[in-house]
Amino acid sequence: MAQNAKPARAAVIGGGVIGGGWVARLIQNGVDVAIFDPDPEAPRKISEIMENAHRAITGLTMAPLPAAGALRFASSIADAVGGAALIVEAVPERLDIKQSVYAEIEAAAPADAIISSSTSGILPTDLQAEMKTPERLLVGHPFNPVYLLPLVELVGGEKTAPDTIERAASFFSALGMHPLKIRKEIEAFVADRFLEAVWREALWLVKDGIATTEEIDDAIRFGFGLRWAQMGLFETYRVAGGEAGMAHFIAQFGPCLKWPWTKLMDVPELTDELVQAISDQSDAQSGMHSIRELERIRDTNLVAIMQALKANDWGAGKTLAAWETALYDSAAPEGMSDESGPLETMRQQVPASWTDYNGHMNEARYLDCFSMATDAVMRHIGVDAEYLAAGGSYFTVETHIRHLDEVTAGTEIFATSQVLLGEGKKMQLFHHLYAADGDTPRLLATGEHMLIHVDMQARSSSLPSDMVATNLTRLAAAHAEMPKPDGAGRAIGS
């Protein structure tokens, strides 16, 4: 497949929880979005979702996000879909409503636009039954919150073109998601079939007075939910089988499946009494928090879990790392093209999560900014994702930072970088960090860094490739014509 490419423009039809999540996911990836929802409260709801999404994403990654896409509230479906490469349908789960929406989409959308339904269970063959161009419709089933959870199930119908699946997978991968292509069309697809089984059991446990809603949630979040977050089902049971593996686990625990432990095929009647009991227990469990507070608590926990998984290059963390790498590789600031002066190597706003109890950016984030600037220089000379995958990189061996001024959340900051030395295994960089909060940039800090090229497989220093060495030598020679920056070579107190 060709390199993943995100759509330039997208349309979202339906502004509920899922539609709003799609809007946030798209916009934070730099995609312009037009949304249509007849609900007069839609702008408020979308705004609140966007606020939570922004809070979450600034905690999830330090990678330089592209400039946010533009959001427009359309006056009609036709107004929304004009010029869109990707059209996300997120309207209520009724086949007749969805089919009427597709008729309006087809009448106004570009001929090559992909139509992706967010349905959680309706078969795509049924969805496309009355379409004139059914080959461009598929199910792209996401999970809430869409702006954080990477999974999207891709399901084609009988008339879905294979190219539609491939193009959609490329789109969603470029948005930092994990497209899971479902092999056969089936009701509720894959993930929701598991959720449905657990939901049925939970309803029985409440009805029979065995556990409350909170106790059931505790059983999940303090136990197997933590395992599932990073290993799933089969890998978890493979480990449970010990050294003998999966075959031993099935031989040992398989007979249990015949025991009357579960009621997976039965559903308790949802009487008024049962519904009230569940509602009362849920209120006692979580009623002290608003829905928006619960969303923020959920997002904070998900960010922490995904960051931990990224540190181990595993599961959803591996998807996050791949998305971050793509963001870094595509974030070449405009100031990188002219090598005759300092390179502009990073630019972004200071997130609120970067500030301390005084409301100022904390000292660790200054180093983070210089780390981003160093990474940009490395990519500029050819140390990109492909080079890293081949085992070459530069490791920082010495750093000196001068903290010169304070900066608050929301301020735009940028860094410039000068190569002081670039020969053999060594690269010496000097960065300036500025606040762009006036006509004249305000100097916030300087950072001087010595790096050594390493062979990551041998875990020892090594010479860079000829290509990287040539690029670094050229850049160092150009920067040698510049004045030595103030503070270069200083130690603490000197």
Q: What averages of pLDDT result for each successive group of 10 residues across the chain (494 residues)? A: 73 97 96 97 95 90 87 98 97 96 97 96 96 98 96 98 97 96 94 91 94 95 90 86 82 74 76 90 90 90 92 91 85 69 90 86 94 93 90 96 93 95 97 92 97 94 96 96 92 72
Q: Say if domain 332-479 classifies as CATH 3.10.129.10.
A: yes
The pLDDT value given to residue 221: 92
Q: What amino acid is encoded at 431 in this protein? A: H
Q: 135 CB contacts (<8 Å, ≥6 apart)?
A: 159, 160, 161, 164
Cβ atoms 278, 211 nearer than 8 A: no
Crossing angle of helices 363-380 and 466-479, in 10° steps, is: 110
The pLDDT value given to residue 336: 67
The pLDDT value given to residue 2: 40
Q: Could you say which DSSP state residue 337 is in?
A: S
Cβ atoms 127, 158 nearer than 8 A: no
* Encoded tokens for 319: 């998807």
Tell me which residue has tokens 């579960």.
Answer: 262
The pLDDT value given to residue 393: 96
Neighbours of 487 (CB within 10 A): 17
d(CA 381, CA 360): 33
Cβ atoms 46, 293 nearer than 8 A: no
Q: Where would I find the beta strands (DSSP E) of 82-232?
A: 86-89, 114-117, 137-142, 151-156, 178-181
Domain ranges (residues) in the chain? 9-189, 192-288, 332-479
Architecture of domain 9-189: 3-Layer(aba) Sandwich (3.40)
What fold, for 192-288?
N-(1-d-carboxylethyl)-l-norvaline Dehydrogenase; domain 2 (1.10.1040)
